[in-house]
Amino acid sequence: MSAFGPKADWLLNTQAASGAEVVIGSRRFAAAHRVLGVDEAVRVIAGYEQRNRLIAPVIRAALSCLLGWRYVGSDLDRRWLVAHLPLVAFRPR
């Protein structure tokens, strides 16, 4: 998720350069990326919320701070969320 919106430097840099590198722990790999469409991003967010029900209040509070409005996790909220904070998928090239 681009927590600072579609104009975040890291997201713009990723879109401008084809050789993005992802680091996860001690693993490094060249990555291909794509910005998720609205419907897919909504499904990803809904799945994340479902898998992390115990910390849902913390997630909603953090998203509310990032968005500047109270995020309650409804389908409409998720659609507004992904319109303002794009989700990006990475995979090894």
Q: Which tens digits make up the pLDDT trace of 28-77?
A: 988 888 999 999 999 999 999 999 999 999 999 999 998 999 999 999 99
For the chain, domain boundaries: 9-92
- Closest of 73, 89, 91, 93 to residue 81, by C-alpha: 73
Q: What is the residue-wise DSSP string for 10-33?
A: HHHHHHH-S--EEEETTEEEEEEE
**Centroid of chain to Cα 86:** 6
Indicate whether 20 pLDDT > 80.
no
pTM: 0.83
